[in-house]
A and B are shown apart, each in its own frame.
Chain A
Amino acid sequence: MRSIKWALALAAAAITVLTFNAASAQGTLRIGMTASDIPLTTGQTDQGGEGMRFMGYTVYDGLINWDLSSFDKPSDLVPGLATSYGVDPADASKNKWIFKIREGVKFHDGSEFTADTAVWNFDKLLKNDSPQFDQRQSAQGRSRIPSVASYKAVDKYTLEIVTKSPDASLPYQLAWIMMSSPAQWEKLGKSWEAFAKTPSGTGPWKLTLFAPRERAEMVPNKEYWDKARIPKLDKLVLLPLPEPNARVAALRAGQVDWIEAPAPDAVASLKSAGFKIITNAYPHNWTWHLSRVEGSPWNDIRVRKAANLAIDREGMQELLSGLMIPAEGFMPPGHQWFGKPTFKLKYEPAEAKKLLKEAGYGPDKPLVLKALISPSGSGQMQPLPMNEFIQQNLAEVGIKVDFEVVEWNQLINIWRAGATDPSAKGGQSLNFTYFIQDPFTGFIRHMQCNLKAPSGTNWGHYCDPAMDKLLDEVRNSFDPKEQTAVLQKVHEKMVDEALFLMVTHDVNARALSPKVKNFVQAKNWFQDFSPISMGN
């Protein structure tokens, strides 16, 4: 009798333990990325937005992070490793910024993050003769912080950054810069190659396995400084699956639980098989960048407006199985910088023809244009059918478009070289995809007069002193609300003057197994994996 009671007690205890473990075990999430390799793990990652999403904001933090907590609110900057920041009120030039470092933050190796650590990381990117300078990280990070002139640690928890000129967009630049652990680097013999295998950041995830070209595995950082963002999962696994059909097959076969960018023609079958297709607006723009050099027909506002009114954006949505948001401006609808432009991007071919007639074009004098496009490319969605759709729309109103199809990497070179470069072959339009998440990438680089090639990527050589004045105001508006108001004016001018052929925005589609729970897709290129758990 006594032995039976002991056995029952032991069984109850075992059941309790197993049940407890089952309740607290939140599972392993396996993600199929579009990248063909694991992004650089040393801190300043590569592979563009996907690299920052999976290896930047997971293993690391910046002084300033993005708020990735909401599906429907705009995503903006929030304090990261700096609890507060702003222009030094005592500095009349407005070039000096003071950052208060968050106290008590530890790297994964246990060492503390301080102002000196931040300086060390800036040296890693900007100071060629520093022992920790890393060419590969510098290549990725240096161009993200063009405003930074100098920096120093005022005390253990105070960092000072001086800009080359007043630039209120500095926080957006700093959100790109990830902080690696100097102590870990020293411990590993001052080798970035060794650091890549066992990296150390302050982020919510710790990298536990790095197999190049195969997979990366991460586990939660239980000591993460933001307790609300300690991950719920047991493990996060990243797998490079660059071929879209292979990604879909891996999801359908249960090899992965989540895939980035499912092929549009696979969406219907994935949905019918019970998988979730998650989408959201985010600061992405698929557009035709218009040449404004002398002689370009795009210099006539009537032609630009006519082209914008000729595009059947709703019709294009069907072409992409619904995986797009028709453009209403350059920014996605609802974006905090959208403002209230008066020019409406509707499908009005009759109005388009009328405007072209006023501009002197018609059946006797057709408008003939050349557009540079690519058959594929990062963020380019489905460029060939989409561009052919636009070509057809424009032909219906009397604009004949010839394509110059170039390989994506070559298109990037042409974009960098500018519209007057021989490589553009006289093309008056260039189909490109833009990351438009901050004032520089969203507006300044496209439109500032002194950012034509080779100084920048104002491909079309657009120059308007009134716009330059607004862009200068953006840089000198240090109050976030004021800056937002100016950015809205910039956007309104862009749309009202139809400076681009504004077509569509991607929706950052991903396909998830029904087992994936609590994922909140933010309106951002980057995402937060902390709240996710795996159900049955």
Chain B
Amino acid sequence: MLLYTLRRILYVTPVAIGVSIICFLLVHLAPGDPLTAVMPIDATAAQQAEMRQAYGFDRPLPIQYGIWLWKVLHGDLGNSIASGRPVLSEVSRAVGNSLILASVATLIGFTFGTFFGFVAGYFRDSPLDKAASALSVFGVSVPHYWLGIVLVIIFSAQLGWLPPTGAGPDGSGNWRPDTEHLRYIILPAITMSVIPMGIIARTVRALVADILSQEFVQALRAKGLGEWGVFKHVVTNAAPTALAVMGLQLGYLLGGSILIETVFAWPGTGFLLNAAIFQRDLPLLQGTILVLAMFFVMLNLLVDVLQTTLDPRIQRT
């Protein structure tokens, strides 16, 4: 087990290097001036050249990458061009907010997704299966940006029950687990949960249907085990895959929440990326993408190790 874990950690190193190169190069491929945020629109060519030199953008790309990587390895993601603030502090705060939102959304999605999936799998081809499947198809099909706006119109603008934007009163950027702040997370979390809910429901439905059709289940029933006992066996067998899917969904939510966070002005990495893209803030873009990508890599590592713990057969293969 230890050897397996060490081997997995070692495999992460070339992946991390590859991720850093892609993060660095991708933002430079995009057209536009990286100094848009700090130069007035009609800055002269001489002023632009001076600024480019001041920020180091006049150097060849490999040298810029080397300098950036060296700083990253020492924990320095540089400073945001637009705000002048350290990228690490901006990203840390945003990652925390995104993690909270993604976790709550994943929890909601996982809870309802597994419930719908089990219902659909246990009562296959029944009206219950059809209803549960329809809900999961809705979850993966509906554009969640649109859904978010609709929920805001209904619950914020029309009914006035829930706030439409922010993580707390008066645009507060720090969410806390208290009654007042809870109101702010409900709509974005529900909006964000529909996709993982749909995916998990469909996955669990297929898993449950498959497990129930296996011979060992028949054998368990023949031996006189009650349905509750059978259910526990089904859950145990379905758990590793369901968990893996949940882990992947958490990773996707962290990286793919840019639209939801912009609609709800939720101060997470998506909102930060949106601002960085429009401002062409390269250090902020690079730093945020790198942190998210590395988080995803680490999450995959964790899920691999957890899966092996739950199902030792995976380690032997």
Chain A stretch 244-259: residues in CB contact (< 8 A) with chain B: 245-246, 249-250, 252-255
A243: chain B residues at CB < 8 Å are 262-263, 265
A249 near B280 with CB under 8 A, answer no
A46: chain B residues at CB < 8 Å are 37-38, 82
B156 near A253 with CB under 8 A, answer yes
A192: chain B residues at CB < 8 Å are 84
Answer yes or no: B160 CB below 8 A from chain A CBs. Answer: yes
In the complex, the chain A residue whose C-beta lies closest to that of B272 is A213
A246: chain B residues at CB < 8 Å are 152, 164-165, 262-265
Answer yes or no: B157 CB below 8 A from chain A CBs. Answer: yes
Q: What class of interface size applies to chain A in its complex with B?
A: 35 or more
Answer yes or no: B36 CB below 8 A from chain A CBs. Answer: yes
Contacts A48-B41, A246-B263, A252-B156 given; does A407 touch B31 at CB 8 Å: yes
- Give bound CA distance, A450 to B278, whole Å: 32
B35: chain A residues at CB < 8 Å are 139
A213 near B173 with CB under 8 A, answer yes
Answer yes or no: A212 CB below 8 A from chain B CBs. Answer: yes
A457 near B42 with CB under 8 A, answer yes
Chain A stretch 448-476: residues in CB contact (< 8 A) with chain B: 453-457
| Number of B residues with CB within 8 Å of any CB on chain A | 50
> Chain B interface: which of A109-117, A358-366, A408-416?
A408-416
A143 near B157 with CB under 8 A, answer no
Contact of A253 among B43, B163, B171, B263 (CB under 8 A): B163
Contacts A139-B39, A409-B31 given; does A242 touch B82 at CB 8 Å: no
Contact of B160 among A36, A253, A413 (CB under 8 A): A253
A412 near B31 with CB under 8 A, answer no
Answer yes or no: A276 CB below 8 A from chain B CBs. Answer: no
In the complex, the chain B residue whose C-beta lies closest to that of A238 is B171
A409 near B280 with CB under 8 A, answer yes
A455 near B164 with CB under 8 A, answer no
A237 near B275 with CB under 8 A, answer no
Answer yes or no: B85 CB below 8 A from chain A CBs. Answer: yes
Interface centre among B35, B44, B171 (most CB of A within 10 A): B171
B160-178 interface code vs A (CB 8 A; 1 in, 0 out): 1001111000111100000
Chain A stretch 404-447: residues in CB contact (< 8 A) with chain B: 406-407, 409-410, 412-413, 416, 441, 445
B267 near A214 with CB under 8 A, answer yes
Closest Cβ of chain A to B92, distance in Å, is: 13
B275-303 interface code vs A (CB 8 A; 1 in, 0 out): 10011100000000000000000000000
B32: chain A residues at CB < 8 Å are 407, 409-410, 412-413
A242 near B31 with CB under 8 A, answer no
A445: chain B residues at CB < 8 Å are 42
Interface centre among B42, B90, B272 (most CB of A within 10 A): B42
Answer yes or no: A492 CB below 8 A from chain B CBs. Answer: no
Answer yes or no: B47 CB below 8 A from chain A CBs. Answer: yes
Contacts A409-B32, A410-B32 given; does A242 touch B45 at CB 8 Å: no
Closest Cβ of chain B to A266, distance in Å, is: 10
In the complex, the chain A residue whose C-beta lies closest to that of B259 is A243
A416: chain B residues at CB < 8 Å are 42-43, 45, 48
Closest Cβ of chain A to B282, distance in Å, is: 12
Answer yes or no: A381 CB below 8 A from chain B CBs. Answer: no
- Give bound CA distance, A228 to B48, whole Å: 41
A37: chain B residues at CB < 8 Å are 82-83, 275
Interface centre among A140, A215, A250, A441 (most CB of B within 10 A): A250
- Give bound CA distance, A84 to B13, whole Å: 67
A139: chain B residues at CB < 8 Å are 35, 38-40, 43, 47, 51
B153: chain A residues at CB < 8 Å are 249
Answer yes or no: A300 CB below 8 A from chain B CBs. Answer: no
A457: chain B residues at CB < 8 Å are 42
- Give bound CA distance, A245 to B148, whole Å: 10
B265: chain A residues at CB < 8 Å are 240-243, 246, 250
B171 near A215 with CB under 8 A, answer yes
Contact of B164 among A255, A410, A454 (CB under 8 A): A255
B42 near A249 with CB under 8 A, answer no
Answer yes or no: A193 CB below 8 A from chain B CBs. Answer: yes
Contact of B275 among A30, A36, A253, A454 (CB under 8 A): A36
B45 near A454 with CB under 8 A, answer yes
In the complex, the chain A residue whose C-beta lies closest to that of B45 is A454
Contacts A215-B171, A409-B33, A409-B280 given; does A242 touch B275 at CB 8 Å: yes
B171: chain A residues at CB < 8 Å are 211, 214-215, 237, 239-240
In the complex, the chain B residue whose C-beta lies closest to that of A273 is B157
Closest Cβ of chain B to A141, distance in Å, is: 9
Answer yes or no: B54 CB below 8 A from chain A CBs. Answer: yes
B156 near A249 with CB under 8 A, answer yes
Residues of A that sit less than 8 Å from B by CB: 30, 36-37, 40, 46, 48, 135-136, 139-140, 142-144, 192-193, 196, 211-215, 237, 239-243, 245-246, 249-250, 252-255, 406-407, 409-410, 412-413, 416, 441, 445, 453-457
Interface pairs (5), CB distance under 8 Å: A36-B275, A242-B275, A246-B264, A413-B33, A455-B44
> Besides the contacts A213-B83, A407-B31, what 16 more A-B pairs have beta carbons closer than 8 Å?
A48-B41, A135-B51, A140-B38, A212-B85, A240-B171, A241-B265, A246-B152, A246-B262, A246-B263, A249-B164, A250-B164, A253-B164, A413-B33, A445-B42, A454-B46, A457-B42
Enumerate the 10 nearest inter-chain pairs by beta-carbon distance, A residue then B residue, closest first.
A409-B32, A454-B45, A249-B164, A36-B275, A252-B157, A410-B31, A214-B173, A253-B156, A215-B171, A139-B38
